[in-house]
Structure 1
Amino acid sequence: MNAIRLACLSLCVLAAPATAQDTAQARPAWALAIHGGAGVIERQDLSPEQDAAYRASLQRALDAGAAVLEAGGSALDAVEAAVRLMEDDPLFNAGRGAVFTAAGRNELDAAVMDGRTRNAGAVAGLTRTRHPIAAARAVMEQSPHVMLIGEGAETFAAARGLEQVDPAFFFTESRWRALERTLRDRSEPLPERPAGVPAPGAMAALHQAPLDERKFGTVGAVALDRSGRLAAGTSTGGMTAKRWGRVGDVPVIGAGTYASNADGCAVSATGSGEYFIRATVARDICHRTGGGASVQAAADSEIADVGSIGGDGGVIVMGTDGTFAFAMNTPGMYRGAVSSARPAAVAIYADEDLRP
């Protein structure tokens, strides 16, 4: 790993009981951790208003998932609730606010996994389904398949009654400007502005992401419910100006998303997708915890490994005891955590500590 990645590596242990008795007393009935993407996110890049907006959005997602878990709902329901809110938030590169392909389209990917059964569902290349995370769950629960892509995935989602929207719903001005800059830098032609979108400058300035955040945009959640079930879910708009139907790690089970009660682990990743696929990041973390590593040690080791082959990004990890961990080799990752044993806390920059 190069010096920059070593300097940026952030490992946050969120539960450190001193004794076995303390462990039993502190073990939460439920727990939830979320992320909104990792990358070059530094204090000087965000205005105070933007910083506050991101924190408020993370808090809303935590509140949504926590309400499900506190009421006795499943880990899958909590993960979906948290991710759906972030998919609707233009601050994040998922759902509304997704980045554009080189052709000027928003193409959306998502995945979910049930840790107890190891059932999984994934979708890629959606353009009209409002909540890709719901489509991924429908694939898992209402089809014999694990992954559906493109037009077929869209047809399936519509047939299952999932909300469909005009593609203009996903448009944000900041993502369009990012596409224009990227294509100009490549000396590639600019696509026409999509039909039915707001006029330039019409969208609220507060909802414009940093112009050069170089963020690996993804949102995700991992949860433990009162019945001891783990679940993971991840959703993304992919990579700015991607071509040729590129798909990253998010919908690849074992790369960007994985959950296994047997291994004591649920993972949602965000980063340079090609590297996370090559390193099978999410599955490897669970393999490490299954072998006895703590969730933090497993996350630490895996991010070091993916960094050694050139990958950047981060992970959130949940254990069957409600211990959760964050690891990254970037200057920041939008993230938060809450459990029945501790209040919600959110963070953006790598040097922020989420321990209570």
Structure 2
Amino acid sequence: MGWAIALQGGAGDIPLSLPPDRKQPREAALRHCLQIGVSALKANKPPLDVVELVVRELENNQNFNAGRGSVLTSNGTVEMEACIMDGNTKKCGAVSGLSTVVNPISLARLVMEKTPHIYLAFDAAEAFAREQGVETVDANHFITPENVERLRQAKEANRVQLDYTQPITGTAPKETSAPKGDSQIGTVGCVAVDNMGNLATATSTGGFVNKMVGRIGDTPIIGAGTYANSLCAVSATGKGESIIKATVARDVAALMEYKGLSLKEAAAYVIQHCVAKGNAGLVAVSAEGEVTMPFNTTGMFRACATEDGYSEIGIW
């Protein structure tokens, strides 16, 4: 048994031709956030604090589809969502429909700790944020030129864009800086276990480019995109509707609990057999300090480290 941590920055059809100016900042961000998490675990911070800390950092990085980098709805607005869960107690908190909250993951934790409920959304969640004094900004803060261009391309093609959908060719004017091979940047998440076997998970996202206003994905749904119990902690990414239907995160835990599978066996089974190819990935840790990061998409931005010295940062 020992501590372990894993984080993800989105899965999908990430082209091998992803240019260096798109690839390198994300790899650097993953490395930076991994080090923050590792340092926190080495300082004996509770896993719940660790996953919140790491996801906050990812939310503040506009290279990922959460917080500052959240993609736009069909109306050109931002609707962010997040979820956090403690494995031992199964306490959890979730939020959806946020448009002014700088760090949705921290509001999700406040829902968990300061209310008798699990899930708050839209105007009520925004009002709760103001009541709790969390940092908020004007909604325009989240509307970046890159995401305005992503939405324009998606509308021209009349489609909802999934994580890392291949670019729509021939639609962007040459003078624009439309991200090639990068039509959407990805959901973020972190899972951690300390050397006492305490587990936690956190996930945050802006959803899909050109999604309908009011659409809710897998991220804030307990057991779909986010789940932790005394056996494991899971954070999923990919096509939310597919992840919800497959109850991805809970099924990993259930296979361990009821079938006696190892973390790697359970996660591999869910990703290979329960979700259609090209739709999902996840990061997970077990109470024993195991870590796994399977995906059935072209790639998944991911990173992990364990107490015994193993570490990995990968895309494909």
**Superposed pair shares fold, TM > 0.5:** yes
User: Out of 288, 293, 305, which is 1:326 matched to?
Assistant: 293
The CA deviation at 1:215 is: 5.0
TM-score for the superposition, normalised by structure 2:
0.90
| Matched letter for residue 236 of structure 1 | T
- Report what 2:309 is aligned to: 342
Instruction: Call closer, same or farther: CA 1:311–1:343 in 2, change over 3 Å.
Output: closer
Does residue 1:265 correspond to 2:237, yes or no? Answer: no
Larger radius of gyration: 1
Q: What is the TM-score with the length of structure 1 in the denominator? A: 0.81
* CA distance 1:265–1:321, shift in 2 (3 Å): same
2:158 to 165, 171, 186: 186
Q: 1:244 Cα deviation (Å)?
A: 3.8
**Structure 1 residue 343: deviation in Å?**
5.0
**Residue identity opposite 2:269 in structure 1:** S
CA contact (8 A) 1:38 1:334 kept: yes
Out of 264, 268, 283, the position equivalent to 1:300 is: 268
- 1:166–1:212 distance in 2 versus 1, CA, 3 Å: same
Unpaired segments of 5 or more residues in structure 1?
1-26, 189-204, 350-356
The SS at the match of 1:327 is coil
Q: 1:92 to 1:149 in 2, by over 3 A?
A: same
Q: Deviations over 1:269-293 (max 9, x none)?
A: 0011111111111101100111311
> Residue 118 of structure 2 aligns to which amino acid in structure 1?
V
Alignment of 1:206-285 (within 5 A): 210-213=179-182, 215=184, 217-261=186-230, 264-285=231-252
Identity %: 41
Partner residue of 1:312? 279
Tell me which residue corresponds to 2:39: 67
Structure 1 runs of 4+ with >4 Å offset: none
Alpha-carbon deviation of 1:157?
1.5
Unaligned segments of structure 2, at least 5 residues: 161-175
Aligned to 1:136: 108
Structure 2 counterpart SS, 1:86: helix
**Partner Cα distance (2:159, 2:11) in 1:** 27
Query: How far has the Cα of 1:78 moved from its partner?
Result: 0.5
Q: How far apart are the structure 1 equivalents of 2:11 and 2:58?
A: 14
Give aligned pairs, total: 300
2:206 maps to amino acid: G
Tell me how far apart the structure 1 counterparts of residues 229 and 178 of structure 2 sit (CA, whole Å).
34
Q: Secondary structure at the match of 1:129?
A: coil
Residue 72 (structure 2) aligns with? 100
